[in-house]
């Protein structure tokens, strides 16, 4: 049988050519998504990150193609953002490299589903509802779902890309990081509409978007100046803090032969960087490689540090609670008074799946074998501040620093400072430590509290209530940070009311769906 000849100008050739270009545009948006975040990217890129994808979607003829293009953008982008997972599970989960890559790609594919739905929604609604309305609304709904479903993975939501844009991020004390994500998508769509249509309506919309962005900046300038005055107030109560970065290699951290050496390293740095009397010393997550509950010489050495320095002392340690049939283990933070007394203990509430506990281990027995190097902790009772000398301290352990609701809970409980302790040694010299810090900064803006961050291998930092990084360390070096924090009582709309924007976006998306279905029913009746 002879091959069928496709005549010149056949639409199938054009369709294939368009598909190839559309895929290239989708890949380009994925690459720009990577470049929107640290350590190698810039927040400026986020303002046009999805324009190539919008061009591709503008030319597709089916929902199926839209899903494919959105998924491609997501896989490229999220693979570049979370590539560090391979390093973690291979080096500390003891998995072969190929399995580490598969696990990372599976997570990237899961995250890409949200982008695929976003792309499908744009194509579905594009003839019914203006793009500048449906795109940001749909994005916020999906970004919220990504942050909550299956324990949630809000890692580098789009708004976090702006962490260095001091004036812009002030808006987070009203609508949180989702408010910034909304603005970024709105600007992307506005630019795309001007490029493709250039009609009077598009220019009017672009002018309105520009005015909104300018208003946000003006608000940011006002808030920065306002908080500056409060920070410069000499009568505002303050405290000196000293953050200790021991730079203990993860491979020896839990080796009993190095317990004393690890403790001596942290003690030596602490004694050389003693805060003023009544100040606060902070050690990172699980800084002490033993259970502080056990009464031994190591415990006595820890208590003596607060006595020698006459300081309040927060440090991370594992803890346990014996039960009738088993023992519950916790990832905990202790607070000691300047007299060496235990003033409180916080047990981490939000655990990281397959990092601190193993979901489905009883349903799928093979999972236990794959996660042999992973701990299995119990969850704490809630976000309750630790208190010493009349000061309330909200402690965020590791991953909790990227959770807005955790900081909000502390603010509602009258916490006066946020302390984030973490051990980012797991991440090596990948982008993850930089990404982790970029998200944590927003907790200071949302609550208008000082946030101090002690990380085993860095990045340790002092962040003021404006979200400005007053000081920070480099990664993988023994170091310390000493600085003064002030206790400011600044109420914020976001801390009080939470994600109002998300509620509004879900309501609008439901209305959009009802409107589109109504139109279909009308057409069917004709």
pLDDT at 517: 72
- 2 assigned to some structural domain: no
Residues 215 and 305 in one domain: no
From 398, 400, 411, 512, the catalytic residue: 398
d(C-alpha 26, C-alpha 75), whole Å: 10
Residues 119, 121, 126, 130: what is their CA dihedral angle, to the nearest 10 degrees?
A: -110
- Residues facing 280 on adjacent strands: 241, 312
pLDDT single digits (tens) 305-340: 999 999 999 999 988 888 666 788 899 999 999 999
Distance, in Å, from the CA atom of 125 to the CA atom of 57, rounded to the nearest integer, reads 12
> Can you give the pLDDT at residue 377?
80
Q: Report the half-sphere exposure of 371 (CA within 13 A, side-chain side).
A: 19
Tell how many helices (H) and how many strands (E) occur in the chain.
Answer: 16, 12
Same domain, 88 and 151: yes
- Whether residue 337 contacts residue 368, with contact meaning beta carbons closer than 8 Å, is answered with no
pLDDT attached to residue 327: 82
HEC string of 454-521?
A: EECCCCCEEECCCCCEEEECCCCCCEEEEEEEECCCCCCHHHHHCCHHHHHHHHHHHHHHHHHHHHHH
CB 52 within 8 A of CB 399: no
6 inside domain:
no
Closest CA to 375 of 361, 354, 395, 391: 354
Helix H or strand E encompassing 58: helix 51-59
Rounded to two decimals, the pTM is: 0.91
- Do both 29 and 132 map to the same domain? yes
Q: Do 172 and 269 lie in a common domain?
A: no
Strand, coil or helix: 172 = helix
Q: Is 498 exposed, middle or buried (0-12, 13-18, 19+ CB in 10 A)?
A: middle
**Annotated catalytic residue 348:** yes
Q: Could you give the CA distance from residue 68 to residue 442 in angstroms, rounded to a whole number?
A: 33
Regarding whether 354 and 259 lie in a shared domain, the answer is: yes
**HSE-CB of 502 using CA atoms within 13 angstroms:** 15
**Residue 135: which domain range?**
12-229+502-525
Domain match, 283 and 394 both: yes
Q: Is residue 116 part of a domain?
A: yes
Is residue 265 one of the residues assigned to a domain?
Answer: yes
CA–CA separation, 180 and 516 (whole Å): 28
DSSP category for residue 197: T
List the 469-472 sheet strands across, edge first. 386-388, 391-397, 417-422, 451-455, 461-463, 469-472
Pairing of strands 312-322, 327-336: antiparallel
384 and 430 assigned to the same domain:
yes
Helix axes of 51-59 and 172-196: crossing angle, nearest 10 degrees: 50
Residue 497 belongs to some domain of the structure:
no
Residue with tokens 């020698």: 308
CB 178 within 8 A of CB 140: yes
User: 520 exposed, middle or buried (CB, 10 Å; 0-12, 13-18, 19+)?
Assistant: exposed
For residues 160 and 271, membership in a common domain is answered with no
- Respond yes or no: is residue 398 known to be catalytic: yes
CB 278 within 8 A of CB 389: yes
Per-residue pLDDT, 128 = 85
- The answer to whether residue 355 sits within a structural domain is yes
Backbone angle region of 392, left / alpha / beta, with phi > 0 → left and psi within -120 to 50 → alpha: beta
How does pLDDT run across 256-289, given as a tens digit for each residue? 778 889 999 999 999 999 999 889 999 999 898 8
Do 94 and 237 fall within a single domain? Answer: no
> What are residue 504's phi and psi, to 5 degrees?
-60, -45
Where do runs of H (alpha helix) occur along 232-250?
none
**From CA 170, how far away is CA 186, in angstroms rounded?**
18
Domain count within the chain: 2
**Cα–Cα distance between 336 and 462 in angstroms, integer?**
21
| pLDDT value for 182 | 98
* Domain CATH code at residue 247: 3.60.110.10
| Cα atoms in the Cβ-side hemisphere of radius 13 Å centred on 526 | 6
| Residue carrying the six token digits 């509409």 | 193
CA-to-CA distance for 320 and 292, rounded, in angstroms? 10
Catalytic residue, chosen from 156, 193, 267, 285, is 285
pLDDT value, residue 252: 77
Residues 343, 348, 411, 486: which is the catalytic one? 348
Same domain, 486 and 509: no
Query: Do residues 221 and 241 share a domain?
Result: no
pLDDT at residue 198, rounded to an integer? 81
Asked, for residue 346, whether it belongs to a domain, the answer is yes
Q: Which residues of the chain have pLDDT under 70?
A: 1-16, 323-325, 353-375, 518-526
* 512 flagged as catalytic: no
Whether residue 196 is found in the same domain as residue 284: no
Helix (H, G, I), strand (E, B) or coil at 230: helix
Cβ atoms < 10 Å from Cβ of 369: 7
Residue 464 lies in a domain: yes
> Where do we find the tokens 């009464």?
295
d(Cα 35, Cα 29) in Å, to the nearest integer? 10
């Amino acid at each position: 049988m002879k091959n069928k000849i496709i005549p010149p100008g056949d639409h199938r050739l054009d369709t294939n050519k368009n598909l190839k270009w559309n895929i290239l545009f989708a890949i380009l948006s994925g690459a720009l998504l990577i470049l929107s975040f640290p350590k190698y990217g810039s927040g400026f890129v986020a303002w046009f990150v999805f324009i190539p994808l919008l061009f591709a979607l503008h030319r597709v003829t089916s929902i199926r193609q839209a899903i494919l293009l959105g998924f491609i953008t997501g896989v490229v982008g999220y693979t570049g953002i979370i590539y560090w997972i391979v390093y973690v599970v291979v080096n500390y989960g003891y998995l072969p490299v190929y399995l580490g890559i598969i696990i990372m790609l599976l997570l990237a594919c899961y995250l890409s589903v949200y982008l695929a739905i976003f792309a499908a929604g744009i194509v579905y609604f594009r003839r019914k509802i203006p793009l500048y309305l449906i795109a940001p609304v749909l994005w916020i709904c999906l970004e919220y779902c990504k942050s909550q479903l299956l324990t949630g993975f809000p890692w580098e939501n789009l708004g976090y890309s702006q962490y260095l844009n001091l004036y812009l991020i002030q808006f987070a004390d009203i609508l949180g990081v989702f408010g910034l994500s909304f603005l970024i998508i709105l600007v992307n769509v506005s630019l795309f509409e001007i490029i493709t249509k250039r009609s009077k309506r598009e220019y009017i919309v672009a002018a309105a978007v520009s005015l909104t962005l300018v208003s946000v900046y003006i608000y940011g300038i006002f808030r920065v100046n306002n908080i500056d005055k409060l920070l410069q107030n000499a009568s505002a109560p303050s405290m000196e803090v000293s953050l200790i970065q021991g730079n203990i290699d993860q491979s020896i951290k839990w080796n009993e032969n190095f317990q004393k050496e690890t403790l001596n390293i942290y003690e030596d740095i602490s004694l050389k960087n003693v805060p003023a009397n009544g100040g606060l010393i902070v050690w990172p997550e699980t800084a002490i490689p033993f259970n502080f509950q056990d009464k031994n010489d190591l415990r006595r050495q820890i208590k003596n540090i607060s006595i020698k320095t006459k300081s309040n002392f927060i440090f991370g340690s594992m803890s346990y609670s014996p039960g009738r049939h088993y023992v519950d283990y916790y990832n905990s933070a202790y607070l000691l008074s300047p007299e060496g007394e235990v003033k409180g203990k916080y047990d981490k509430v939000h655990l990281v799946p397959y990092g601190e506990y193993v979901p489905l281990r009883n349903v799928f027995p093979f999972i236990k074998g794959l996660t042999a190097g992973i701990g299995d902790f119990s969850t704490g009772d809630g976000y309750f501040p630790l208190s010493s000398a009349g000061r309330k301290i909200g402690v965020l352990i590791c991953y909790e620093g990227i959770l807005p609701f955790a900081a909000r809970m502390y603010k509602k409980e009258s916490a006066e400072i946020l302390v984030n302790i973490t051990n980012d040694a797991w991440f090596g010299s990948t982008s993850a430590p930089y990404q982790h810090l970029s998200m944590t900064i927003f907790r200071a803006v949302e609550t208008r509290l000082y946030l101090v961050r002690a990380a085993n291998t860095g990045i340790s930092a002092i962040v003021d209530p404006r979200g400005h990084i007053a000081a920070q360390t480099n990664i993988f070096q023994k170091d310390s940070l000493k600085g003064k924090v002030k206790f400011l009582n600044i109420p914020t709309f976001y801390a009080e009311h939470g994600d109002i924007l998300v509620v509004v976006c879900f309501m609008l998306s439901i209305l959009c769906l009802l409107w589109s279905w109504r139109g279909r029913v009308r057409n069917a009746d004709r």
